[in-house]
Amino acid sequence: MKRTSISTQHFSLALSCLLLLLTGCNSPLHKATVESVQTSLTTNKQAAVPSLDRLDADCHSQVLQRESSVGASADIGQQIALAKAAERCIENKSFFPQHPDNQMAMQLNALAVVNFIKAGETQMAEHSLAEFRAQFPQQDLLFADYTSFVDTAIALLQHDELSAHQLQILNINTALRNELKRQEYWLKN
């Protein structure tokens, strides 16, 4: 009988511990702790997701209107103004490949680079190209002939620093490559 009473005591003790644990899980203090942990996990997940800085639609449309009015104009002032307006649309914003405005932001930055080049502002163009490469790493735009925007900008801005082999492996338009080779030949001879 003693054995039964000990078993009953252990059973009662185990049952009491189980009830204590179960009621402890429903206590307000435990619920508050669980909720605060869940809230902090949710907050950490939100902090890990980059915020979406969207492009200003008005800024983008103004740049497009200005681009169509400048067209093929040789007015250096208009080209610089267009380039700076394009840069203003994307400044202080972060983009990533899946960002909904990533492609438009890349195009605006490329527009700035091209117009600085057209205006003869090579330092501003190099700075804008460096920003493009930092903002959009391992990304590029393709022209209609499937040549690379980044490679073309590098060829135009740094052709003096490129070897013949480096120039050859760039994905640039054949006419541009031939013109750069011709220029190099006549500068040396």
- Residue 15's pLDDT is 40
Q: Are residues 34 and 70 in the same domain?
A: no
Average pLDDT on 94-98 reads 90
> How do residues 54-77 score in pLDDT, each as one tens digit?
888 899 999 999 988 887 677 899
List residues bridging with 148 in a β-sheet.
Answer: 142
Q: Are residues 24 and 95 in the same domain?
A: no
> How do residues 28-41 score in pLDDT, each as one tens digit?
444 444 454 445 54
Residue 17 confidence (pLDDT) above 80? no
Residue 48 confidence (pLDDT) above 60? no
Q: Are residues 32 and 107 in the same domain?
A: no
More confident call, 4 vs 81? 81
Q: Are residues 37 and 128 in the same domain?
A: no
Measured between alpha carbons, how far is 14 from 10 in angstroms, rounded to an integer? Answer: 6
Q: Are residues 133 and 161 in the same domain?
A: yes
Q: Are residues 30 and 74 in the same domain?
A: no
Q: Are residues 116 and 170 in the same domain?
A: yes
Q: Are residues 81 and 158 in the same domain?
A: yes
> How do residues 102-142 score in pLDDT, each as one tens digit?
999 999 999 999 999 999 999 999 999 999 999 999 999 99
Question: Taken in order 66, 71, 72, 75, is the CA torsion positive or negative?
Answer: negative
The percent of residues above 70 in pLDDT, for the chain, comes to 72
Measured between alpha carbons, how far is 132 from 110 in angstroms, rounded to an integer? Answer: 7
Q: Are residues 17 and 43 in the same domain?
A: yes
Q: How far apart are the first and last CA of the chain?
A: 116
CB atoms within 10 A of CB 189: 5
Number of independent structural domains in the chain: 2
Domain range holding 160? Answer: 57-188
Residue 16 confidence (pLDDT) above 50? no
Give the domain CATH number at 89.
Answer: 1.25.40
Q: Are residues 24 and 61 in the same domain?
A: no
Measured between alpha carbons, how far is 120 from 72 in angstroms, rounded to an integer? Answer: 15
Q: Are residues 89 and 6 in the same domain?
A: no
Q: Are residues 109 and 175 in the same domain?
A: yes
